[in-house]
Amino acid sequence: MSADQVEEFLKMMAAEKGAAINTLEAYERDLRQFTEFCGSNLKEISAEDIAAFVRDLSSRGMTAKTISRKLSAVREFFKFLYSENEIKINPALNIQSPKQQKPLPKFLSEQEIRQLIEAAARKQDPAHRRIAVMLELMYACGLRVSELVSMPENSINFDKKQLLIRGKGSKERLIPVAGQALEQVQDYLTYRDYFLKGGRRSVWLFPSKSSASGHVTRDSFFKHLKELAVETGLDRDKVSPHVLRHSFATHLLNHNADLRAVQKMLGHEDIGTTEIYTHIISDDLIKKVQKLHPLSKMK
């Protein structure tokens, strides 16, 4: 493998696939490591050599995620060489990545979420009152942060108690909204004009006077959430918009909600993505098992 081949490959990744600088630097390091193991004569490298490289990485204690990343660089490089007629056979074509174990999602307790919402509502100024409403709505509906901040004003049907969301891939879904969250939104609408410039109109439910998008930004919401975590004594690293979404799903399932219904509300294509929440056991369930299981009654 020559330096010119790698340079041309990196140029292609930047131009055609929009790879970031950090990604390109990682690719370069991974390919250098690969050639140190397999040699630089690319025409002689076989699928067995690449498999041996993967086994070597595993023997060094590298995680499946790290190995998969390095293997991805090798795959993309050989794919590029094959498309440029530098090699006749792509040896990386059928090499499988190691299976990665999905980490269990982090979530907050119902009490911790209530603490966050109440801490924001106590401030009484419009900005913090609005954050409290956004938190309430996000937790009530399991929204992604991008869906929350960019929600049109006409998304909520107050009569039917439903929320129409345009999610990933512009796919729409209807989500039922808890009455308490609707009440908070209706109260917010009485002071929403505070966030508009000079009485101008806005299509967004949560408009912003300063952001280029015209609505509250993800970064702004994230920042407020971290500040509330500190104020309430919660671990700020444990609190994020996505953790609120995880909490929504976890709490529903712990209260015996139907898995398919939760899948639809979250907007998951694959129910397997939703099933990960079933691995989280609530404290109430643990207590029930300890109290009711026959073995718990045996001396």
Is 291 marked active-site? no
Is 188 marked active-site? no
Q: CA 15 to CA 282: how far, in whole Å?
A: 48
Contact 136, 180 (CB under 8 A): yes
Is 191 marked active-site? no
Residue in 192, 245, 246, 251 annotated catalytic: 245
Residue in 32, 168, 171, 197 annotated catalytic: 168
CA 278 to chain centre: 18
Contact 258, 227 (CB under 8 A): no
Is 277 marked active-site? yes
Coil/strand/helix, residue 174: strand
Contacts of 212 (CB under 8 A, 6+ apart): none
Q: Are strands 172-176 and 156-157 parallel, antiparallel or unpaired?
A: unpaired
Coil/strand/helix, residue 164: strand
Is 268 marked active-site? yes
Report the candidate in 40, 38, 58, 57 with the shortest Cα–Cα distance to residue 48.
38
Q: CA 160 to CA 213: how far, in whole Å?
A: 29
Side-chain-side CA neighbours of residue 204 (13 Å): 20
Is 29 marked active-site? no
Contact 6, 13 (CB under 8 A): no
Residue in 200, 242, 287, 288 annotated catalytic: 242
Report the candidate in 87, 56, 86, 82 with the shortest Cα–Cα distance to residue 71.
56
CA 240 to chain centre: 10
Residue in 144, 215, 224, 251 annotated catalytic: 144
- Which of the residues are catalytic? 144, 168, 242, 245, 268, 277
